[in-house]
Amino acid sequence: MHGYLKGKKILIGVSGGIAAYKVCEIIRDLTKSGARCRVVMTSAATKFITPLTLETLSEAPVLCELFPETSRSDVIHIEAARWPDMILLCPATANLIGKIAHGIADNLLTCICMATQAPILFCPAMNTQMYLNPIVQDNLKKLRQFNYRFIEPATGNLACHETGIGRLAEKEDILKSMVQVLYASNKLKGIKILVTAGRTEENLDPVRFLTNRSSGKMGFALAEVAALHGAEVTLISGPNNLKPPPGIKQIRINSAAEMAVQVFQIAAAQQIIIMAAAVADFRPKIISPTKIKKKTNLLKIEFEQTVDILATLGQRKGNQLLVGFALETDNQQKNAIQKLKEKHLDLIVLNDPQIAGAGFDTDTNQVTLIDKNENILEISLTSKFEVAQKIFDKIIEMSNSSRDLTPEIG
């Protein structure tokens, strides 16, 4: 998960269903991402998978008994309830769902769920007819009314040799839902945000183009964080192999000219614009209609400038908050501040690709934020998701101080 869950404390409740074996991969991925995991099992769960297996994977003792003989405390459920940042119930059986829906706390896991203030994410998994049973559906509805979170089960082949809804959701979908639970807020609810990401490609002939090494990962992380904070996000991205974050509108482009058209079409309606894309500054003046053949050892290409999208937005903006990126290899802060002023930006994010782990196509980044008052904030090397969070902390702070983000681009 590229550090999204790093340092988070996750309590995983395992109940007695055949899908219990799938939690092994989830725990393994969580620990690899840097999360701290603790597992609580019901007695039925231990019939499907051993506590030793989950203890080895989670690197922490597995809790099973409400009153263990070796415990020094008779309030183990309270201690466990206060520990996590979130609780993942995986798999969540019809029995577990029914007990929590009716306030029944007759084992360690249900007691913890009753006592915790941490958000709880249910991952239902059961036979199709059990899941569709009106009683189970009523229990699910009741829990949703109390703001419990759910990830819907998948449809497919079941352990009972039937086909239908009831399979445990896919691991990647569960991990994404966990990120939603941990980071979602309404800080940017109702705010329209445009993010650009990735590179552009400028055609030279039918088989060749000129481009740069931008992967788009930073822009995609910014779009994801904006959506997690409740914003209405549009992501305009150049060629990449990334899966768009959930809950956003994505527009794909190839060239700088296509990027300019799409940005200018919707810019006026945006309250925050973040230009994280690495847009080509130049393009071939003439695109050959046929493949250029190797006739001599020397090939001359004449270039022309592309539209400066960021500068145009800066000239047109009213109350919008405009954020740009500057990738510099020398005189970094001086050049970034010059760009900030010349292009009428509110905030600029300075990158240095020469720093190990902060270059192109990495999952980490190290940046410097400089606002229009030349206040400087250094963000040390960390995941691009965490960098995006800190950038938005600054954006939200600036938005709150400006009080008015009414779009006024003409």
For residue 310, give the amino acid letter: L
In this structure, the number of other CB atoms found within 10 A of the CB of residue 68 comes to 13
How far is residue 115's CA from residue 109's CA, in Å, rounded to a whole number? 10
Residue in this structure with the two tokens 């609780």, named with its chain if needed: 87
In this structure, the number of other CB atoms found within 10 A of the CB of residue 222 comes to 30
- The answer to whether the CB of 292 falls within 8 A of the CB of 204 is yes
Residues present in the chain in total: 410
Say whether 37 is catalytic: no
For residue 168, give the amino acid letter: L
Assigned token pair, 68: 């263990």
Could you tell me where the beta strands, DSSP code E, fall in 81-162? 86-92, 120-124, 149-150, 154-157
Name residues whose C-beta falls within 8 Å of residue 245's C-beta, 6 or more positions apart in sequence: 220, 223, 224, 227, 233, 235
Burial class (CB in 10 A: 0-12, 13-18, 19+), 114: middle
Q: Which SS3 state, helix, strand or coil, does residue 251 take? A: strand
Residue in this structure with the two tokens 């996750």, named with its chain if needed: 10
Break the chain down into helix, strand, coil percent, rounded to 5. 35, 25, 40
DSSP-derived pairing of the beta strands 303-305 and 282-284 = antiparallel
Q: What is the DSSP string of 271-323?
A: SEEEE-SB--SEEESS--SSPPP--SS-----EEEPP-HHHHHHHH-SS-EEE
Residue in this structure with the two tokens 């650009």, named with its chain if needed: 196
- The answer to whether the CB of 353 falls within 8 A of the CB of 339 is no
Name residues whose C-beta falls within 8 Å of residue 45's C-beta, 6 or more positions apart in sequence: 14, 15, 16, 17, 20
How far is residue 26's CA from residue 24's CA, in Å, rounded to a whole number? 5
Instruction: Considering the candidates 37, 90, 111, 160, report the single residue annotated as catalytic.
Output: 160
Assigned token pair, 42: 């019901």
How far is residue 124's CA from residue 98's CA, in Å, rounded to a whole number? 11
Q: Catalytic positions, please? A: 160
